[in-house]
A and B are shown apart, each in its own frame.
Chain A
Amino acid sequence: DQQVKQNSPSLSVQEGRISILNCDYTNSMFDYFLWYKKYPAEGPTFLISISSIKDKNEDGRFTVFLNKSAKHLSLHIVPSQPGDSAVYFCAGRDQTGANNLFFGTGTRLTVIP
Protein backbone atom coordinates (compact mmCIF):
# COMPACT_ATOMS: atom_id res chain seq x y z
CA ASP A 1 0.00 0.00 0.00
CA GLN A 2 1.80 3.09 -1.27
CA GLN A 3 0.83 5.90 1.09
CA VAL A 4 2.84 8.47 -0.81
CA LYS A 5 2.74 8.58 -4.58
CA GLN A 6 4.84 10.40 -7.11
CA ASN A 7 3.14 9.65 -10.38
CA SER A 8 5.74 11.24 -12.63
CA PRO A 9 8.88 9.12 -12.76
CA SER A 10 10.75 11.79 -14.70
CA LEU A 11 10.67 15.46 -15.59
CA SER A 12 12.83 17.53 -17.94
CA VAL A 13 13.06 21.30 -17.65
CA GLN A 14 15.13 23.98 -19.32
CA GLU A 15 17.65 25.80 -17.18
CA GLY A 16 16.17 28.97 -15.71
CA ARG A 17 12.59 27.74 -15.92
CA ILE A 18 10.41 26.45 -13.09
CA SER A 19 10.43 22.79 -12.06
CA ILE A 20 7.28 21.50 -10.41
CA LEU A 21 7.39 18.10 -8.76
CA ASN A 22 4.15 16.64 -7.49
CA CYS A 23 3.26 14.25 -4.72
CA ASP A 24 -0.03 12.76 -3.51
CA TYR A 25 -0.69 11.00 -0.25
CA THR A 26 -3.44 8.96 1.32
CA ASN A 27 -2.58 8.97 5.02
CA SER A 28 -4.38 11.75 6.91
CA MET A 29 -2.15 11.14 9.92
CA PHE A 30 0.93 12.65 8.35
CA ASP A 31 2.08 15.66 10.36
CA TYR A 32 5.16 16.55 8.36
CA PHE A 33 6.09 16.27 4.73
CA LEU A 34 9.65 16.30 3.54
CA TRP A 35 11.44 16.49 0.24
CA TYR A 36 14.74 14.75 -0.28
CA LYS A 37 17.13 14.98 -3.18
CA LYS A 38 19.27 12.03 -4.16
CA TYR A 39 22.30 11.82 -6.42
CA PRO A 40 23.54 8.45 -7.67
CA ALA A 41 25.69 6.53 -5.17
CA GLU A 42 24.75 8.92 -2.37
CA GLY A 43 22.13 8.86 0.34
CA PRO A 44 19.12 11.18 0.15
CA THR A 45 19.77 14.73 1.30
CA PHE A 46 17.11 16.71 3.08
CA LEU A 47 15.85 19.63 1.03
CA ILE A 48 12.80 21.22 2.59
CA SER A 49 9.87 20.27 4.79
CA ILE A 50 6.44 21.53 5.64
CA SER A 51 4.25 21.01 8.66
CA SER A 52 0.72 19.80 8.00
CA ILE A 53 -0.61 22.98 9.60
CA LYS A 54 1.02 25.15 6.96
CA ASP A 55 0.23 25.51 3.28
CA LYS A 56 3.51 26.93 2.08
CA ASN A 57 7.15 26.90 3.04
CA GLU A 58 9.88 28.66 1.15
CA ASP A 59 13.64 28.31 1.28
CA GLY A 60 15.59 30.15 -1.37
CA ARG A 61 14.79 28.71 -4.76
CA PHE A 62 12.67 25.95 -3.25
CA THR A 63 9.04 26.28 -2.24
CA VAL A 64 6.74 23.52 -1.09
CA PHE A 65 2.98 23.89 -1.27
CA LEU A 66 0.56 21.72 0.66
CA ASN A 67 -3.10 21.26 -0.21
CA LYS A 68 -4.52 19.15 2.61
CA SER A 69 -8.02 18.91 1.20
CA ALA A 70 -6.61 17.40 -1.98
CA LYS A 71 -3.90 15.46 -0.12
CA HIS A 72 -1.41 16.91 -2.53
CA LEU A 73 1.89 18.67 -2.24
CA SER A 74 4.28 20.09 -4.75
CA LEU A 75 7.85 21.28 -4.82
CA HIS A 76 8.68 24.30 -6.96
CA ILE A 77 12.25 25.06 -7.95
CA VAL A 78 12.79 28.50 -9.44
CA PRO A 79 14.99 29.05 -11.34
CA SER A 80 16.07 25.52 -12.15
CA GLN A 81 19.78 24.89 -12.45
CA PRO A 82 21.70 21.96 -13.99
CA GLY A 83 22.96 21.03 -10.51
CA ASP A 84 19.36 20.39 -9.50
CA SER A 85 19.34 17.29 -11.72
CA ALA A 86 18.71 14.43 -9.32
CA VAL A 87 15.97 12.14 -8.07
CA TYR A 88 13.53 13.87 -5.74
CA PHE A 89 11.65 11.93 -3.10
CA CYS A 90 8.61 13.14 -1.26
CA ALA A 91 7.99 11.69 2.21
CA GLY A 92 5.35 11.89 4.89
CA ARG A 93 5.79 11.29 8.61
CA ASP A 94 2.91 9.93 10.61
CA GLN A 95 1.68 11.70 13.74
CA THR A 96 2.74 9.03 16.17
CA GLY A 97 6.06 10.80 16.25
CA ALA A 98 7.89 7.68 15.33
CA ASN A 99 10.83 8.18 13.11
CA ASN A 100 9.51 6.35 10.13
CA LEU A 101 8.96 8.14 6.89
CA PHE A 102 6.80 6.95 4.05
CA PHE A 103 8.47 7.74 0.78
CA GLY A 104 7.20 8.07 -2.74
CA THR A 105 8.96 6.29 -5.59
CA GLY A 106 10.80 9.43 -6.68
CA THR A 107 10.87 11.73 -9.69
CA ARG A 108 14.03 12.07 -11.74
CA LEU A 109 14.53 15.73 -12.61
CA THR A 110 16.78 16.65 -15.50
CA VAL A 111 17.60 20.31 -15.98
CA ILE A 112 18.80 20.94 -19.50
CA PRO A 113 21.45 23.66 -19.88
Chain B
Amino acid sequence: KAGVTQTPRYLIKTRGQQVTLSCSPISGHRSVSWYQQTPGQGLQFLFEYFSETQRNKGNFPGRFSGRQFSNSRSEMNVSTLELGDSALYLCASSPGPTGGGGYTFGSGTRLTVV
Protein backbone atom coordinates (compact mmCIF):
# COMPACT_ATOMS: atom_id res chain seq x y z
CA LYS B 1 0.00 0.00 0.00
CA ALA B 2 1.11 3.56 -0.65
CA GLY B 3 2.97 5.31 2.12
CA VAL B 4 2.48 8.77 3.49
CA THR B 5 2.65 11.33 0.70
CA GLN B 6 3.68 14.91 1.29
CA THR B 7 3.55 17.62 -1.33
CA PRO B 8 5.38 19.58 -2.41
CA ARG B 9 8.81 18.15 -1.60
CA TYR B 10 10.54 21.51 -1.79
CA LEU B 11 9.28 25.05 -1.48
CA ILE B 12 10.89 28.46 -1.48
CA LYS B 13 8.91 31.41 -0.16
CA THR B 14 9.70 34.97 0.84
CA ARG B 15 9.16 36.51 4.23
CA GLY B 16 5.60 37.62 4.83
CA GLN B 17 4.05 35.14 2.43
CA GLN B 18 1.90 32.25 3.45
CA VAL B 19 2.26 28.59 2.54
CA THR B 20 0.12 25.46 2.52
CA LEU B 21 1.58 21.98 2.79
CA SER B 22 -0.32 18.78 2.09
CA CYS B 23 -0.19 15.31 3.59
CA SER B 24 -2.02 12.21 2.40
CA PRO B 25 -1.91 9.47 5.03
CA ILE B 26 -1.76 5.75 4.46
CA SER B 27 -5.12 4.45 3.29
CA GLY B 28 -7.25 3.64 6.31
CA HIS B 29 -5.24 5.78 8.70
CA ARG B 30 -7.33 8.42 10.41
CA SER B 31 -4.73 10.24 12.46
CA VAL B 32 -2.26 12.73 11.04
CA SER B 33 0.40 14.52 13.07
CA TRP B 34 2.70 17.29 11.90
CA TYR B 35 6.27 17.93 13.03
CA GLN B 36 8.87 20.57 12.33
CA GLN B 37 12.49 19.52 12.08
CA THR B 38 15.25 22.10 12.41
CA PRO B 39 18.96 21.60 13.10
CA GLY B 40 19.61 21.50 16.81
CA GLN B 41 15.91 21.24 17.74
CA GLY B 42 15.11 17.80 16.50
CA LEU B 43 11.50 17.11 15.61
CA GLN B 44 8.96 19.29 17.34
CA PHE B 45 5.29 18.47 17.48
CA LEU B 46 3.00 20.93 15.74
CA PHE B 47 -0.48 19.39 15.92
CA GLU B 48 -2.46 16.22 15.51
CA TYR B 49 -5.74 15.59 13.75
CA PHE B 50 -8.05 12.66 14.14
CA SER B 51 -11.35 12.35 12.32
CA GLU B 52 -11.17 15.98 11.14
CA THR B 53 -10.67 17.30 14.68
CA GLN B 54 -7.53 18.82 16.10
CA ARG B 55 -6.80 16.82 19.22
CA ASN B 56 -3.49 18.27 20.26
CA LYS B 57 -1.39 21.30 19.51
CA GLY B 58 2.25 21.91 20.21
CA ASN B 59 3.88 25.09 21.37
CA PHE B 60 3.84 27.04 18.12
CA PRO B 61 2.41 30.49 17.37
CA GLY B 62 -1.03 30.92 15.86
CA ARG B 63 0.55 31.52 12.45
CA PHE B 64 0.71 27.73 12.22
CA SER B 65 -2.61 26.10 11.57
CA GLY B 66 -3.96 22.97 10.03
CA ARG B 67 -7.01 21.03 9.08
CA GLN B 68 -8.06 17.54 8.14
CA PHE B 69 -10.55 16.57 5.50
CA SER B 70 -13.12 13.79 5.53
CA ASN B 71 -10.77 11.57 3.51
CA SER B 72 -8.15 12.03 6.27
CA ARG B 73 -5.87 14.13 4.08
CA SER B 74 -4.42 17.00 6.03
CA GLU B 75 -3.03 20.42 5.24
CA MET B 76 -0.98 22.75 7.34
CA ASN B 77 -0.75 26.44 6.73
CA VAL B 78 1.85 28.94 7.86
CA SER B 79 0.99 32.60 7.47
CA THR B 80 3.29 35.63 7.55
CA LEU B 81 6.37 33.51 7.03
CA GLU B 82 9.53 34.29 8.96
CA LEU B 83 13.09 33.25 8.19
CA GLY B 84 13.01 30.97 11.22
CA ASP B 85 10.20 28.95 9.68
CA SER B 86 12.71 27.40 7.28
CA ALA B 87 12.63 23.73 8.18
CA LEU B 88 11.68 20.25 7.12
CA TYR B 89 7.99 19.69 7.82
CA LEU B 90 7.05 16.08 8.38
CA CYS B 91 3.72 14.46 8.75
CA ALA B 92 3.05 11.08 10.30
CA SER B 93 -0.05 8.96 9.98
CA SER B 94 -1.38 6.22 12.20
CA PRO B 95 -4.59 4.22 12.32
CA GLY B 96 -5.67 6.05 15.43
CA PRO B 97 -4.56 6.42 19.03
CA THR B 98 -1.90 3.78 19.30
CA GLY B 99 1.30 2.88 20.95
CA GLY B 100 4.37 1.13 19.75
CA GLY B 101 5.42 1.93 16.23
CA GLY B 102 2.13 2.81 14.65
CA TYR B 103 3.40 6.08 13.23
CA THR B 104 4.56 6.23 9.62
CA PHE B 105 6.28 9.35 8.40
CA GLY B 106 6.29 10.92 4.99
CA SER B 107 9.47 12.20 3.36
CA GLY B 108 8.67 15.75 4.33
CA THR B 109 8.42 19.15 2.70
CA ARG B 110 11.57 21.25 2.81
CA LEU B 111 10.50 24.88 3.23
CA THR B 112 13.02 27.64 2.69
CA VAL B 113 12.05 31.19 3.57
CA VAL B 114 14.20 33.90 2.02
Chain A residues close to B by CB (< 8 Å): 2, 4, 6, 31-32, 34, 36, 41-49, 51, 89, 91, 93, 97-106
Contacts and interface: CB of A to CB of B under 8 A. Distances in A.
Contacts of A104: 42
Interface core residue of A46, A97, A100 (most chain B CB under 10 Å): A100
Interface of B: 4, 6, 31, 33, 35, 40-45, 48, 50, 55-56, 58, 90, 92, 94, 97-101, 103-108
A92 B72 CA distance: 25
B45 A97 contact: no
Contacts of A49: 99-101
Given A41-B107, A105-B41, A98 B48 contact: yes
Nearest to A1: B59
Contacts of A31: 99
Contacts of A103: 35, 42-45
Given A105-B40, A105-B41, A99 B105 contact: no
Given A51-B99, A100-B56, A106 B42 contact: yes
B107 A43 contact: yes
Given A43-B108, A100-B48, A32 B100 contact: yes
Contacts of B103: 34, 46, 99, 101
9 contacts: A32-B99, A43-B106, A46-B103, A47-B101, A89-B42, A98-B56, A99-B56, A102-B45, A106-B42
